[in-house]
Amino acid sequence: MSLRDTLFTQAEQKALFDHTFLARDRLEEQYASLPHQSETAAFGMWVFLATEVMFFGTLFVAVGAYWIFSPKTIERASLELNWVIGGINTVVLLVSSLMMVLAIHAAQLNRQREVFRYLVLTAGLGIAFLCFKALEYYLDYRENLIPGFKFDDAEWIARGVDASQLGYVKMFLFLYWTMTGFHAIHVTIGIGVVVVMAVLTRRGHFSAEYYSPLDVTGLYWHFVDIVWIFVFPTLYLLGTHTL
């Protein structure tokens, strides 16, 4: 018996839950109908994603600017990133996107158990992504790829980077951390929302007529995937790899 169950009765829990931010199963007063509300919500998410495009776009502009200044150095720095884990993570996120879209597909067909299962898979793959990311960060730490904390100028000079160009290496790595860091934050938020959606599904909040929160969550999840689709070549694949 969990702490929550000792504190609140089932009815109280239900009442509390219905007042939470995400439990919007009712029609709000400003809308004419449920489809109207759903379409508006989806449009709102699209507009929000447009702002996210600009948010991440800024980081890509910065990478591009320094690539223009010193393409060879940035290329050399890119080769040191762990493209294998980056590639695995690309696959993980793509598959999780499929799971998400299958969850919505199931919702459209009113197969609530399937919805739940696919949402759990989505969240699970998201967590797998974060685990791989953590592993990659750990390896980066071991390989002295953290400018300002664990970074060895001599190593890079030995790799053929001119001492005067080390600034570009550090800036590229700084942008790598910022970019993947912000992306990981987005994934974490996404996992949280997907888990909430799974719980709501379990509680029978959705139907074939109304699954707008699922739809909106899906848009967000796919967007996070798209960001990674661009992050991957921009950070990991700038140079010529050799086996």
Partner 1 sequence: MSSKITPANTYIVVLIALLVLTVLTVGVSFVPLQPIGHVVAGLSIAALKATLVVLIFMHALHSPRITWCVIVASIAWVLILFSLTYADYLTRGSLPQMPGH
Partner 2 sequence: MLDSAKSAWFPPEASTTAAHVDLLLYFLLAVCGSVGLLVAFLMIYFCIRYRRRPGAGRPARTHASHALEWFWTIVPFFIFMGIFVWGAVVYVDAYHAPPDSIPVYGIGKQWMWKFQHPEGQREINTLHVPLGRPVQVLLTSEDVIHSFFIPAFRVHMDVLPNRYTSVWFEATKPGEYHLFCSQYCGTNHAGMIGTVVVMEQADFESWLSLHAEGSLALEGRKVFLKYRCISCHSATAGARAPVLEGLYGNIARLNNGRSVVADDAYIRESILDPGAKIAAGWENIMPTFRGQISEEEIYALISYFRSLQRGETPRRVEEYPPPTSTPPINTTAPDSSATEGKSTAPKEP
Partner 3 sequence: MTIATLPLPASQPVEPPAEGSNYLNVSYGVVSWLLTKDHKRIAILYLISVTAMFLLGGLAISIVRLHLMTPQGTLVSADTYNRLFTMHGVIMVFFFLVPVAPAVLGNFCLPLMIGAKDLAFPRINLLSWYLYVIGGAWTLFAMLTEGVDTGWTFYAPYSSQATHYNVVPTLIGLVLAGFSSLFTGLNFIVTTHWLRAPGLTWFRLPIFVWAMYATSFISLLAVPVLAMALILLMLERLLHIGIFDPALGGDPLLFQHLFWFYSHPAVYIMILPGMGIVSEVIPCFARKSLFGYTFVAYSSLAIAFLSFLVWAHHMFVAGITLYAALVFSCLSFLVAVPSAIKVFNWTATLYKGSIAFETPMLFCLGFVALFTAGGLTGLFLATLGVDIHVHDTYFVIAHFHFIMVGGMVMAYMGGLHFWWPKMTGRMYSQWWSRLAALIIFVGFFLTFLPQFIVGYNGMPRRYYQYVPEFQVWNVLSSAGASILAVGYLLPLGYLLYSLRYGPRTGSNPWGATGLEWTTTSPPPRDNFAVTPIVVRGPYEYDTGKAQNEP
Q: What is the DSSP string of 39-56?
A: HHHHHHHHHHHHHHHHHH
Strand partners for 150: 146
Instruction: Please check whether residue 227 is in contact with residue 183, taking contact to mean a CB–CB distance below 8 angstroms.
Output: yes
93/96 Cα distance (integer angstroms)? 5
Residue 30 site contact among partner 2, partner 3, partner 1, none (CB < 5 to 8 Å, cut-off depends on kind): partner 3
Q: Binding partner of residue 102 among partner 2, partner 3, partner 1, none, CB under 5 to 8 Å per kind?
A: partner 1
Q: In this chain, which stretch among 33-41, 114-122, 152-160, 232-240 interacts with partner 3, using CB under 8 A?
A: 33-41
Distance of alpha carbon 243 from alpha carbon 113, whole angstroms: 45
Interior angle at CA 179, CA 99 and CA 222, nearest 5: 20
> Rounded distance, CA 70 to CA 165, Å?
8
The residue among 192, 20, 18, 221 whose CA lies nearest residue 103 is 221
Sign of the CA dihedral running 150, 68, 238, 87? positive
> Is residue 201 a contact point for partner 1 (CB under 8 A)?
no
Stretch of residues binding partner 3 (CB under 8 A), selected from 104-112, 163-171, 194-202, 233-241: 163-171
The item of partner 3, partner 2, partner 1, none sharing an interface with residue 162, based on CB under 5 to 8 Å by kind, is: partner 2
Q: Does 163 bind partner 2 (CB under 8 A)?
A: yes
Residue 28 as a binder of partner 1 (CB under 8 A): the answer is: no
The smaller minimum CB distance to partner 3, of residues 39 and 143, is found at 39
Does 134 bind partner 3 (CB under 8 A)? Our answer is no
Using the rule CB under 8 A, which residue among 162, 192, 207, 241 binds partner 2?
162
Q: Tell me which residues touch partner 3 (CB under 8 A).
A: 21, 28-33, 36, 39-40, 43-44, 47-48, 50-59, 61-62, 65-66, 69, 147-148, 166-168, 170-171, 174-175, 178
